Amino acid sequence: MEASTSFKQDLLLREYGRNVQDLVNYITKVEDRDERTRLSHLLINLMSKLNPQLRDTQDFQQKLWNHLFVMSGSSLDVDAPYKLSAMEYLNDKPQTMDYPLDTPNFKHYGKNVELLVQRATELEDEKEREAAIVSIGKLMKTLYRSYNKENITDDVILGDIRQISNGQLDMDLQYIESNNLFESNVGRQQDSGYQRSQNQNPRNKKSNRSSNQRNK
């Protein structure tokens, strides 16, 4: 227990400095209780100025008194405005965080896509369901390309949607392919922008003219 207390005191020393710890040691040696209480109040005011970020926390005054009590080695005997408990402070641990235990079946799509598919299965209107399938399909194709750096066919995307939705979502593949419904507009713009930049490149224009002259 003593080792644990010393360890926590060292942490507090880095916050308030050696001078504050020396003042705490001095106060604990004062024999008059009223004088110890008066000096403790003065020291609390000093500690609040040295550690101003505590003012944004709830019950920051009580925290300061707990800090003072801990730095005294739990030996400070004064008329404090709060009930002092060094053990409550020393045993204070960060709250544990809950991490999701289930992992997505398709890592390249992510868990959010599975949630979107689940929401789409809850749509009752047929047109809304088809619109959701198209939007999800575009997103899935974009995510797949960014993850694998390669193309993926519409039938694979549609098959994955069927599998994730347990067969509840489906569309006509030929209709999707003929209308390029799963193609993202962003990808088209990037491709067309790249093509325009290539055509506008002076070197490419000169090369094209030379090639045309040779062909003639």
What average pLDDT does the segment 13-29 reach?
79
pLDDT in tens, 76-119: 899 999 888 665 555 444 444 455 555 667 777 877 888 889 98
Q: Which residue has the higher pLDDT, 196 or 174?
A: 174
User: Rounded to an integer, what distance in angstroms lies between the CA atom of residue 1 and that of residue 137?
Assistant: 60
What average pLDDT does the segment 149-171 reach?
90
Query: In the prediction, which pLDDT does 144 show?
Result: 83
Q: Which of 62-71, 140-149, 168-177 has the lowest mean pLDDT?
A: 140-149
Q: Record the pTM.
A: 0.42
Query: In the prediction, which pLDDT does 11 show?
Result: 44
pLDDT at residue 12 above 60? Answer: no
Which residues have CB under 8 Å from 213's CB, separation 6+? Answer: none
Tokens of 186: 């962003």
Query: In the prediction, which pLDDT does 88 show?
Result: 53
Q: Which residue has the higher pLDDT, 50 or 171?
A: 171
User: Rounded to an integer, what distance in angstroms lies between the CA atom of residue 156 and that of residue 109?
Assistant: 13
Which residues have CB under 8 Å from 53's CB, separation 6+? Answer: none
Average pLDDT value over all residues in the chain: 75
What average pLDDT does the segment 176-192 reach?
68
pLDDT in tens, 56-83: 777 888 888 888 888 888 888 999 998 8
End-to-end Cα distance, the chain: 94
Binning pLDDT at 50, 70 and 90, where does residue 41 land? very high
Q: Which of 30-44, 83-97, 104-118, 154-168 has the lowest mean pLDDT?
A: 83-97
Query: In the prediction, which pLDDT does 13 show?
Result: 44
How is 154-175 classified by DSSP, letter by letter?
HHHHHHHHHHHTTT-----HHH
- Decide: 140 and 160 in contact? Cβ < 8 Å: yes
- Decide: 71 and 20 in contact? Cβ < 8 Å: yes
Q: Which residue has the higher pLDDT, 38 or 47?
A: 38
User: In the chain, what percentage of residues exceed pLDDT 90?
Assistant: 30
pLDDT at residue 147 above 80? Answer: no
